[in-house]
Amino acid sequence: MFVKPMPHDGYINEVAYQLTQLGHEPTQQWTTSPDGEQLDGVIVFDDADPALWPDHVWLGWDQHNGWALCDNGTRALFPLDLDVYAAPGAVAVRAADRLTGRQDTDVDEDWDGAAALAEAVRAWEKEGAL
């Protein structure tokens, strides 16, 4: 069975790659659209500081709210305070800082792929998703 690629597949993969380069290798990652209206991306870790994240944490993205860490126990969201289409490297640095309790590093959110990703998401939304 053919599964149509989602417009954010490459974006989520690149963020996961950048996190791996920073020493935070994801244990799982996926993209989905459970309701056919919202695109979601999930990146799961096992190496977050347990004093900060005792119930584990995952990194999530959607095209409306952007990036946030989610406490697996309480399901509380902790936004990364970045643009929805922030540069993958910027997302990785900010997430790594928050995973380990470090102060936020200044990051450059701009990247060449942002406009194309936003346009692909708009086209996906316009065509009625799936």
Residue 102 domain-assigned (yes or no): yes
Q: 86 with 108: CB under 8 angstroms?
A: no
- The predicted structure's pLDDT at residue 30: 96
CA angle 100, 113, 61 (to 5 degrees): 45
Alpha-carbon distance values, 55 to 27, 47, 83 (Å):
15, 12, 27
Residue with tokens 């346009």: 119
- The predicted structure's pLDDT at residue 4: 81
Domain that holds residue 64: 9-110+122-126
Residue 100 domain-assigned (yes or no): yes
Please say if the pLDDT value at position 40 is more than 60: yes
Q: Residue 110 contacts by C-beta under 8 Å, 6 or more apart in sequence?
A: 87
Looking at the 3D structure of the chain, how many domains does it have?
1
At 129, the pLDDT band (50, 70, 90 cuts) reads low
Token pair belonging to 73: 């126990």
- The predicted structure's pLDDT at residue 36: 87
Residue 4 domain-assigned (yes or no): no
The DSSP output letter for 71 is E
Mean pLDDT of 80-95: 98
Residue 2 domain-assigned (yes or no): no
Residue 117 domain-assigned (yes or no): no
Burial classification of residue 44, based on how many CB atoms lie within 10 Å of its CB (0-12 exposed, 13-18 middle, 19 or more buried): middle
Q: What is the mean pLDDT of the chain?
A: 93
At 48, the pLDDT band (50, 70, 90 cuts) reads confident
Residue 91 domain-assigned (yes or no): yes
Residue 63 domain-assigned (yes or no): yes
Mean pLDDT of 58-72: 96
Residue 1 domain-assigned (yes or no): no
- The pLDDT > 90 percentage for the chain reads 78
